Structure 1
Amino acid sequence: MIEQLSGYDVGALMYCPAHAHGTIAGALLREQYPKPFSLAFCLEDTVPEALVEQAEGELYQILQEICRNRSEHAFYLPLIFIRVRSPQQLRKLAAAYRPFSSILRGFILPKFFVENCGAYIQAIQDIAAAGADYRYMPIFESPAMLPLHTRYEHLAQVKEQLDTVADRILNVRVGGNDLSHAFGLRRTVHDTIYDVRPVAHLLTDLVTTFAGRYVVSGPVWEYFSGDGWEEGLRRELALDLLSGFIGKTVIHPNQIPVVNDMLKVSAGDYRDAQAITGWNGADGLLVASSADATRMNEYNTHFNWASKVLRLAQVYGVREN
């Protein structure tokens, strides 16, 4: 049985193509990547259709080598997930990779929306019934979300269906680049996804729909080198957190320490969160000034925020400034 995870534990989720990283098992053994992080092997957009079967075989060998190394040496092992192409491939790989269930935490479900969510959910239920203990992360990136006249109805339908397997959903993810592509747009290193207004509205709708029950992770930042990339990533992460997103898809190890640093909570927020969650109302007061006497803390208004701050602090720590 895999230990209990929450959506907060995923953090920086680094993607790599499943067919192009035959040495990644050795890199994990040597702990070459900054930590903590999570790892996603992609069998979807990064793999040509003609090479899918080959990539599946290569990924089998990678997982086999990681398991072997893990049995012989102690090293940091990230949470490992596989991004599949379809519900049919999900069923196939959930069975084929069952020997690696000690290290494989679950699957990422791309372009998850009304056209395929029913098939994905049925697959999740059948895999669980067969005794496999996987977790899943659907990605909302389908162009089918664009039309305004159906968007809210379809989001509500998908949410209702997803809730039937809520105990298996680790977090909900969003595809900022795919959604930008649908509009023929791309942000520069000086912009954030929130400056791409049509996409920003979609992201807001996704948080509004899902964040009440699930952790929703922020979209990938595609810059990892050159002038301004880190400043841009930090700026977007700050807006992610302000907008209700927790965690980030990354595409290069350079991005991992930045994400981890931004997921730390400030010392002031941590002190206030402790105070808010510690109130019991015995003295008749559920409101007080903050520890530094700069803002108001109110139990009934800020408890959800405080609980989130403490969970982030537990996983990523507290920033002293």
Structure 2
Amino acid sequence: MTGATFTEVRAMRHFRHLDRPTLDRLFFHPPQPFGHSDARERLAMALGATLYVPATRHDLTSTILRRAGEGVTSMVLDLEDAVADDEVEDGLRNAVATLDALALRDEPPMMLFVRVRTPDGVDRLTAMLGPGHSVLTGFVLPKFGATSGRAFLEAVAAASGRIGRHLYAMPVIESAAVVHRETRDDELRAIALLLAEHRDRILAVRIGATDMCATFGIRRDRDLTIYDVRVVVDVIADIVNHLGRTDGTGFVITGPVWEYFADHERMFRPMLRATPFEEQDAVVFRQQLVSRDLDGLLREIALDRANGIQGKTVIHPSHVAAVHALSAVTHEEFHDATDILDRDTGGVSASGYGNKMNERRPHRTWAEQTLVRASVFGVTNKGVTFVDLLTALVDR
């Protein structure tokens, strides 16, 4: 079941906060609408930057509407790490009131999830909901493991039946059993089997790198990406290996959070090359990105993609534009993908851009995924770079 019986008054769309002249200038093929009734794989790709916000926030409804107007398309109302133990009940009631209030509007503002602490939290929230069930996309399941995860997934399935709407689950892989080398492979194999039982309900698998770092008393510096923390990147590689396969057994895996968003004293050189910004007459804009610690985020997003990861958890709205700018499919990627998929007879040919070889069989899965990404994030015009997208998206 994919939720195909449910429709929205109006679908969501990436970059819908940009005006038509800007969209025409930037995009060869503009982003297409998406919604709850879409295929699971397409909806997972559309997650993009998933913004976490404490469910206790007093202006939660207006915050969601404001962020939707700024281009956020998926958000998590957090009842776990972002909320103190003695505030969970207040957060639960606030989340319910917010979802109910949003349901009275003409359109769903974005994909909305709730991160609960226990399976009982799934039951309680859905039992308390009024009309808000119509805008709830699903639940984020923390500390997900082969033993603890079954109760979570069964709770989501039961809640889905109770409210008559297909609810998705996004398990967060972050437990010590996955982090520790001696138990990792057995735990990931067991998790893979469990997720396979509930395949139609798993929208994406999220990586909890902050908890992984905590296992070793590490807090990575803002001058480094998560891929510089070897004990964690080894875990990420194994998660992708077990759960991110493209043979029909895997899932979309989303990138871990980037924690920084303010000025600081730099120890190392910035991670953004100057040349792309000089070519676009955007040197000052590059300096602004560096001062906001967004250069490290941009580097990490590129490394996420290189390692088979799509989308990202974010905890600050300034991070959203960076994730989405690098999610748009370039004119070159699009033409390579369509050339690769043009025939299924195998073989190799030079890219139309004259800078690489396209092998039709080895690159076919990449091409298929690229066209799914193109459908939700659009295809940029020839010559348009991530700098152009960022300058249009970031408040300068």
Question: TM-score, structure 1 length as denominator?
Answer: 0.92
Q: Which moved more, 1:264-273 or 1:94-103?
A: 94-103
Runs of 4+ aligned structure 1 residues displaced above 6 Å come to: none
Q: Which moved more, 1:174-183 or 1:141-150?
A: 141-150
1:311 aligns with 2:347: no
Q: Secondary structure at the match of 2:112?
A: strand
**Distance change (3 Å), C-alpha of 1:200 and 1:134:** same
Q: Secondary structure at the match of 2:71?
A: coil
**Distance change (3 Å), C-alpha of 1:32 and 1:293:** closer
In the alignment, residue 76 of structure 2 is paired with which amino acid? A
Q: Which residue of 1 aligns with 2:74?
A: 38
Distance, in Å, in 2 between the alignment partners of 1:194 and 1:16 is: 25
Q: Which residue of 1 aligns with 2:228?
A: 195
Residues 77 and 113 of structure 2 are in contact (CA less than 8 Å); yes or no, is this contact kept in structure 1? yes
Tell me: higher relative CO, structure 1 or 2? Use CA pairs within 8 A at least 6 residues apart: 2
Residues 36 and 260 of structure 1 are in contact (CA less than 8 Å); yes or no, is this contact kept in structure 2? no
In the alignment, residue 307 of structure 1 is paired with which amino acid? E
Residues 34 and 257 of structure 1 are in contact (CA less than 8 Å); yes or no, is this contact kept in structure 2? no
Residues 279 and 286 of structure 1 are in contact (CA less than 8 Å); yes or no, is this contact kept in structure 2? no
Q: Which moved more, 1:96-105 or 1:262-271?
A: 96-105
Q: Any residues of structure 2 matched to 1:142-153 within 5 Å, and which?
A: 142-153=175-186
Q: Which residue of 1 aligns with 2:123?
A: 91
Per-residue deviation, 1:164: 0.6
Residues 33 and 253 of structure 1 are in contact (CA less than 8 Å); yes or no, is this contact kept in structure 2? no
Q: Any residues of structure 2 matched to 1:44-193 within 5 Å, and which?
A: 44-68=80-104, 70-71=105-106, 77-97=109-129, 99-130=131-162, 131-193=164-226
1:238 aligns with 2:272: no
In the alignment, residue 244 of structure 2 is paired with which amino acid? A
Over the aligned positions, Cα root-mean-square deviation in angstroms equals 1.8
Distance, in Å, in 2 between the alignment partners of 1:293 and 1:160 is: 43
Structure 2 gaps, min length 5: 1-5, 7-35, 264-290, 386-396
Between the two proteins, the alignment pairs up a number of residues equal to 313
In the alignment, residue 274 of structure 1 is paired with which amino acid? T
Question: TM-score, structure 2 length as denominator?
Answer: 0.75
In the alignment, residue 336 of structure 2 is paired with which amino acid? D
Q: Secondary structure at the match of 1:136?
A: strand
Residues 51 and 72 of structure 2 are in contact (CA less than 8 Å); yes or no, is this contact kept in structure 1? no
Distance, in Å, in 2 between the alignment partners of 1:120 and 1:59 is: 19
In the alignment, residue 379 of structure 2 is paired with which amino acid? V
Per-residue deviation, 1:129: 4.1
**Distance change (3 Å), C-alpha of 1:29 and 1:127:** closer
Structure 1 gaps, min length 5: none
Identity fraction in percent: 34
Q: Secondary structure at the match of 1:217?
A: strand
1:302 aligns with 2:366: no
Distance, in Å, in 1 between the alignment partners of 2:50 and 2:115 is: 12
Out of 37, 40, 54, the residue aligned to residue 3 of structure 1 is 37
Distance, in Å, in 2 between the alignment partners of 1:192 and 1:15 is: 20
Q: Secondary structure at the match of 2:256?
A: coil
In the alignment, residue 318 of structure 1 is paired with which amino acid? V
What CA deviation, in whole Å up to 9, does each residue of 1:119-169 have, x standing for no partner?
122223333444341111000011222222221011001110111111011
Q: Secondary structure at the match of 1:265?
A: coil
